[in-house]
Amino acid sequence: MNNLLFSLLVLLSACGGKDSPEINPPEPVEVKWSFSPATVALSSKGETRSVIVTANGDWNVTSNQSWCGTEPGSGHNGQTSLKITATGNPQTTARTAELTFTSGNYSQNYTVSQAAGTIENHVPEGYSLVWEEEFNDERLSGGKPALPDTGKWWYENLQKGAVNNELQTYVGGYRGTDTVAAIHDGTLKIIARKSGSDIISARINTIEGWTYGYFEARLRVPGGKGTWPAFWMMPKNFTSWPLDGEIDIMEYVGYQPNVVHSTVHTEAYNHMIGTQKGATKTIQNAETAFHIYAVEWTADYIKGFVDGEAYFRFDNDGKGDKKTWPFNVPFYLKLNLAWGGDWGGAQGVDESKLPATYEIDYVRVYQK
């Protein structure tokens, strides 16, 4: 019996010898992508296009440009319909974005191009350009983006609640590492943002002033309850409000999407006594596309425009009374982004909308 057991053990040992083949894991399959169409060229106005992505594995996709996004952000083995969306191009040059598809150690790029933006000329006949700010300075200062040129602009420093019960503090471009006025990609970004326990933003003004002219800026406004961007004018030799007057070329409050306002204030006509003179206009895509806001100011009238269309007019009554027409002295231009306050915060504020960015492509002044 013992001899039989010994023989069986020897036989089993021989069957499991060192020469048995080893089982190796399969080699990873290289993931490859193909696209239809092979490239995408988008219009300057911004649009969404679909691309069929074919791959032999699961993947993710990212864009290297904030103006170009994708939906969905991932796909699987086989075909996926990918929507590529670009915002309007504010530049007068074409631009490109690279979409990077990744799967494990494999990746492949896909190029999206967008045509140069075109800007319509709405300047009335007879006017010539006398002053401009194009915000094209890309230099870094102390590691920060370029700030508005202090040869043309000056900052206001105002504490929370100093005007209109607004909730922001206005600072000179930045506080510490928090920038609120930055020039890059050809536009000025005025940013309202949290900074510690405060909300900070910028309010900048032109050093120069003008009497009469056509004043315009190409702007994209932020949305959400609490935002209150403005483009406006005040007298160079200001002493008191409302006697000295105010011209609001564009104001926007985020709780009223796509509604813009143009207004004047004088001693006789102002919002404190409910007699202000102004108008509103509903436009498309105020928060996602640039629009040109302007005012034509002459000795006889003030007209407000958006994209070349007049929607507000205030006439000089000819009485020579400063209380009704203080608009015969130099005024300067102002750009700011308020947070909350009597008007911007009339329906509360939504801090999830911070940081909020008010984008300015250019500011131009024309005179006869």
Active-site positions read: 246, 251
* HSE-CB of 41 using CA atoms within 13 angstroms: 3
DSSP string, 251-274: E--TTSTTEEEEEEE-SSS-TTTT
Residue 276 backbone dihedrals phi, psi, to 5 degrees: -55, 150
| Separation in Å, CA 207 to CA 139, 284, 324 | 22, 33, 26
- The closest of 367, 90, 363, 368 to 233, measured between CA atoms, is 363
Q: Which amino acid is at 82?
A: L
- The closest of 149, 104, 112, 157 to 131, measured between CA atoms, is 149
- The closest of 111, 99, 338, 87 to 229, measured between CA atoms, is 338
Compute the distance between CA of residue 109 and CA of residue 55 in angstroms, rounded to an integer.
13
Residue 263 CB neighbour total at 10 angstroms: 23
DSSP string, 58-114: -EEEEESSTTEEEESSEE-SEEEEEEEEE----SSS-EEEEEEEEETTEEEEEEEEE
Compute the distance between CA of residue 67 and CA of residue 70 in angstroms, rounded to an integer.
10
Compute the distance between CA of residue 161 and CA of residue 149 in angstroms, rounded to an integer.
27
Compute the distance between CA of residue 107 and CA of residue 102 in angstroms, rounded to an integer.
4
